Structures are given as structure tokens and as C-alpha cells.
Amino acid sequence: MILDNIKKNWNYIKNFKMNSLFWRTFIVMSLLLIVPFVSLSIIFYARQFNTMRNEITSENAVLLSSAGNIVDDTLNECDMMSSYIATNENAQLFTLNGIDTEAFTSLINLANTLPIIYQYIDSIYVYAEDFDCVYVNGIRNPTSSITDNNWLSDYRKISNQKGSFVLRNKNDTYPSLITIIKPIYVADEKKGAVVMNINSQTLYYSLLSKRYKQDGQEFFLIDSQNQIILSKDISNFKKNISDIGFTDIDFYSKDPSDTYTMNGENYVVLRSDSSLNKYTYISMYSMSPYEENLSQAKTQLLIVSLSLLLLGFALAYVASANSYTPFREIITYLDNTSSSADNIAPRDQNELRYIINSIKLHIDDKTKMEEILKERMNMLKKAQYDMLQTQINPHFLYNTLETINWMAYDMSGDAENPVSTALVNLAGFFRNTISSSGYLISISEEIQYTTDYLSILQLRYGDLFDIKWNIDESILSFKIIKICLQPVIENAVYHGFKPKNTKGTLTISGELDDTNIIFTMSDDGVGMYTDTLSSLNTLLHESVYNDSGSHIGLANVNKRIKIIFGEAYGLSVDSRKNVGTTVKITIPAVE
């Protein structure tokens, strides 16, 4: 018994869908239980995230400041040592006379000692331009004999005593060097230079590796052209910062409180300017370790939310199950007494509304059926009357026309006289109208009957109008309803050309458009006002045939097309006053 009740309850839940008593109760329960919890959870998560980001930003700022100061101090110290050697009078004398004095030898020994003291200094060269020689590792060498000479081109570009910092690879291979070229000036004339080579990778690991030791912590020193001078990865040396993933970040406008996503990982990115050569320091701090903790909290909040959702589901079912018993009895009775499918209330309503509408439909059913029966009886009487009215003996009509034809022949003595021609065309037209060949004829036959009718009109109105045919021969075998084109032509003559009082032109076109055949009949008659055109198109779109008004023929053709082919087909009219009227007939391409 319990299982049967549960099954019946779920049937009603399935039938009434989201409007069922169960789902409405479940939504209310969910709003009361879940919405407050989810709202508080979102606020908690957002505050935790902001707190975490602020902590990371603060820690990253401390790291950046510390690392930047260390690198600045180190490069400044190297710059000062290079300046000391370059401004030493013994070095200046050497560049003037090329003589290795004892004092100069002591200076060279000092230069050789510095790389031993400072691990990040790779080597120090002393270059004399006039004598084309270089001291390398305390040994004098002709410039042409040393392989590491790619700094010479940068030396030649120097035009002041400040010198320059150059990024290069020793011997064009390895290691990656930050080279300080400090020119030796004597009497304001450049005579040589002190070349201090700093190993970029050794500099990073000796000064910064202990600070940026966690995964996701990165430090970069870049120059004014965004080339990387220092980084954890030696392969990044001299690369543009955008080549390693920094494609969308603008370090010069980045808000420190924002995060930046690179390679699917979120970072807090900070920058600061170096005191040397417009260099820029960039410090990245990964949020991944902190996000993992937040992700665990998010999972816990989600589990609690799902538990509350299940609780709301259970409470909603218990509440709605107690209400289904009386509803079930009433709905079952109403379903069993419905007389037709039209008399069933839609199931997208809730149960109570369904019961009320079902009762209302039962009450209205008798009145509705009486109205339908009365309407159909009136339609039947009209159809019977129309059938009796059209029962004309075709043989009598043909014999009468034939008699008149022979009388005209006897009077004129010419079989091609206008009266006989008109009678023959009229007989052909009436034969098509009265024949019992069905509703549809071929387009070629319809054109032939239309031509007969046009011959009669032109006999009557003389040169009131000209006809231009533009029919695609490929459509001639397709079917069309009888007397489809003639009423449209008649409408053009009587409402377009006659009021114009000057000769007009009627163009009749027919073509195949995909799966439809479209006839376009355009005249250059008097046209219609906008209000008249609007009323006519409204008449053509009405579902009930209206046999009153000045365009009965168009409405008749339109209604017959819709009856035979469907509501998607029929007539449409476009017209402009004193320009003309175009009637478009659309029918399906039926073989």
C-alpha cells in the first residue's frame, strides 16, 4: 500500500513537472535552508580569498624590496669597482703608452683577484684601443687573438664616461653575462675600457635563490627593451618577457591587489624600478598553495549545501505526500470524465489550478458543442445552396454559344469575325470553369484558359492594356488550382487600368523558387493608398472567407489556395499610389 502511494505521488510529480505541489514545496524549502547558508558561504569565501591575496601581496612586496635592494647594491658595487679601475691613473697611462709598469701590474692583479672574491664576477678585461691589446686573466693578448670579443661593438658605441651595461653570451655560447663596459678617458678622449663580466646565473643563485626557494616564486630583472637579465631559468636570458607567457600583462599599470593567470596558475605580480639603467624588477608569487586550502574549504561547503538540498527534498516530499490523497481522488475523477482531448486542462498548471480549469471545461463543454454544431449546420446549408446554384447544364450552354457563333458567321460571312472569336474563347473559358476534372490542372492549361479570357478582354477594351508573359517553361507541367490567374488579371483591369484612362502594361511572370512556384503579376495602373493596401492584406490573412468588398476575386483565389495547399501559401499584394500594383501568388511545386 505504501509503495503504491509513493508510485502514484511520483506520477503526479512527473505529470505536473515544475508546477507540481512537490516542486513548489521543494523550492520553498531550498530557499529557507540553502540560500542563507550559500550566501554566508560566499561571503566567508570572498573574505578568506581577499585576506589570502593581501597576505601574499604583502609577503611578495617584502621579497621584491629585499631582492631589488640586493641586486641594486651588487650591480652598483660592480659598477663602482669598474669605475675605480677605469679612472686609475696607471690604467690611463697604460692606454697612452702601452707600457706594463709595476703599478699597472698591481692593478691587473687586483682585477684578477676580484672574480675569486666575488663568485658572480666571471672575469675582468682591460682594453687599450691604441695598442689593440687586452689583458685577460693577467695576460696581455692582441685583441684579434681572443675569442670573447663580441663586446667590442658595444664599446665603440659608448660616447660618455658613464659606460653601459650589455647582455651577452661569452664566446657567443656560455655563460650568460651582464657586462659592464666602463670606458677609460684621458683628456676627454676615449682610449680603452674596463670590461667586467658578471655571470647572470651565478649572481641569481648566490644572492636570490634562498629568498625565492618555494615553487611558484619567481624573480626577474628586465631591461628597458623587456629583455630578461636575471631569472631562475638560465634559458630565459635575453628573451623578451612576453616570450615566456607574459603576453597580456602590463607591469606598468597592474594593480598590486589583482592577480594574473599564466599557464593555468594564478600569481600575485609586483614590479619596481631599479636605480640602474631603467631596469625593472618583477616578483611573482603563486597562489596555488593557498588556493588548495580554499579549495578544501569550498568542497566542505559544497558537501554541506548538498546535504541541506537532500534534507529539503525529503521534507518537501513528506509535506506534499500528505496533500496528494484528496487531490488524487478529484483529479482521477476529472480525467475519467473528460469527453475529448480538447476538454483536458493543460498539465503545465499546478494541481489546484488543474482541478479548477477541468471543472470549468466540463461546465463549458455543452455550450461549446452546441455552438460548433450550429455553425457547421449553417455551413452545410450554404454548401447545399451553392451546389444547387452551380448545377447548370453545360450542354445547354455550349449549344447556345455554338448557335450564336453560327449566327455571327452567317451575318458576316467570315469565321474569324470578332464575335465568333469571342464566343470560341468564352466557350473554352467556361469549359474549364464547369468541367469536373478536379481542383487542379497543369499550369500550361491554366495559361491557355487565361489567354482565352484575355482575348475576350482585349476585344472588349481594345488597346486599354498590353500583356507581357515571362513564364519559365520548366514549371508548365506543375499543378495549379483552376481559375487562379484570371481573377487577378480582372482585378488589375478594373481597379488599375480603367481608372487610369491611359494605356497600361500587365506583366505576368512565373518561376520555380526552391520547392515553391511564384507567380508575379505587376501592373502600372493607378495603384492603392496605404490604408487600402493594408485593409486588403488584412483581408487576405483572415482565416474566414469574406465575400464582400471590392476585391472578392483576390480573396476567393487566396482562400482556395489555402484550402488546397495549406496556410503557408496564397496571395500577397504590394502597391503604391500612381505607380502600380504587384500581386504575388505562391503555391507549392506539385507535379
Do you know the residue count of the chain? 591
pTM for this predicted structure: 0.46
Confidence label for 301 from pLDDT (cuts 50, 70 and 90)? confident
Q: Tell me the chain's radius of gyration from C-alpha atoms.
A: 50
Would you state the pLDDT for residue 388?
Answer: 45
Which residue type does 576 have? R
Alpha-carbon distances, residue 491 vs 508, 525, 581 (angstroms): 14, 11, 10
Q: In whole angstroms, what is the distance from residue 254 CA to residue 273 CA?
A: 14
Would you state the pLDDT for residue 195?
Answer: 92
Q: In whole angstroms, what is the distance from residue 261 CA to residue 216 CA?
A: 12
Cis amide prior to 289 (ω within 30 degrees): no
* Residue 302, pLDDT above cutoff 70: yes
Alpha-carbon distances, residue 590 vs 171, 237, 337, 443, 477 (angstroms): 86, 76, 45, 10, 9
* Residue 76, pLDDT above cutoff 60: yes
Contact indicator for 66, 77 with CB cutoff of 8 Å: no
Would you state the pLDDT for residue 449?
Answer: 83
Confidence label for 258 from pLDDT (cuts 50, 70 and 90)? low
* Half-sphere CA count of 313, side-chain side, radius 13 A: 7
DSSP string for residues in 438-472: -SEEEHHHHHHHHHHHHHHHHHHHTTSEEEEEEE-
Residue 447: all three cell numbers together: 495559361
Q: In whole angstroms, what is the distance from residue 205 CA to residue 220 CA?
A: 13
Burial group, residue 422, by CB count within 10 angstroms (0-12, 13-18, 19+)? buried
Of 283, 295, 231, 289, nearest in space to 254 by CA: 283
Tell me which of 30 and 388 has the higher pLDDT: 30
Would you state the pLDDT for residue 265?
Answer: 75
Contact indicator for 452, 482 with CB cutoff of 8 Å: no
Tell me which of 13 and 320 has the higher pLDDT: 320
- pLDDT, one tens digit per residue, over 118-156 is 888 988 999 998 888 999 988 889 988 888 888 898 898
Confidence label for 17 from pLDDT (cuts 50, 70 and 90)? very low
* Residue 414, pLDDT above cutoff 70: no
Confidence label for 193 from pLDDT (cuts 50, 70 and 90)? very high
List the beta bridge partners of residue 465: 504
What mean pLDDT do residues 378-398 have? 52
Phi-psi region of 13 (alpha: psi -120 to 50; beta: other; left: phi over 0): alpha
- pLDDT, one tens digit per residue, over 456-476 is 777 777 778 889 999 999 999
* Residue 574, pLDDT above cutoff 80: yes
Confidence label for 233 from pLDDT (cuts 50, 70 and 90)? confident
What mean pLDDT do residues 362-372 have? 68
Q: What is the chain's mean pLDDT, rounded?
A: 77
Contact indicator for 522, 582 with CB cutoff of 8 Å: yes
What mean pLDDT do residues 172-190 have? 88
Would you state the pLDDT for residue 360?
Answer: 62
* Residue 223, pLDDT above cutoff 50: yes
Contact indicator for 194, 213 with CB cutoff of 8 Å: no
* Residue 570, pLDDT above cutoff 60: yes
Tell me which of 211 and 401 has the higher pLDDT: 211
The alpha-helical segments, DSSP class H, found in 88-227 are 89-97, 102-117, 152-157, 200-207
Q: Helix count (H) and strand count (E) of the chain?
A: 14, 18
Tell me which of 434 and 149 has the higher pLDDT: 149
* Residue 392, pLDDT above cutoff 70: no
What mean pLDDT do residues 355-361 have? 61
Contacting residues for 244 by C-beta, under 8 A, at least 6 apart = 228, 236
Would you state the pLDDT for residue 443?
Answer: 92
* Residue 510, pLDDT above cutoff 90: yes
Q: In whole angstroms, what is the distance from residue 575 CA to residue 197 CA?
A: 89
What mean pLDDT do residues 99-120 have? 86
Contacting residues for 346 by C-beta, under 8 A, at least 6 apart = 354, 357
Q: In whole angstroms, what is the distance from residue 35 CA to residue 427 CA?
A: 83
Contact indicator for 544, 506 with CB cutoff of 8 Å: no
Q: In whole angstroms, what is the distance from residue 95 CA to residue 87 CA?
A: 12
> How many CB atoms are located within 10 Å of the residue 515 CB?
8
Q: What angle do CA 16, 21, 24 make, to 5 degrees?
A: 100
User: Which of 27-36, 101-110, 484-493, 563-572 is predicted least confidently?
Assistant: 27-36
Would you state the pLDDT for residue 183?
Answer: 94
Would you state the pLDDT for residue 391?
Answer: 45
Would you state the pLDDT for residue 3?
Answer: 54
Contact indicator for 485, 502 with CB cutoff of 8 Å: no
Long-range contacts of 99-104 (CB under 8 A, 24+ apart): 100/140
State the helix-helix crossing angle for 418-434 and 443-461, rounded to 10 degrees.
140
Q: What DSSP element (H or E) covers 165?
A: strand 164-169
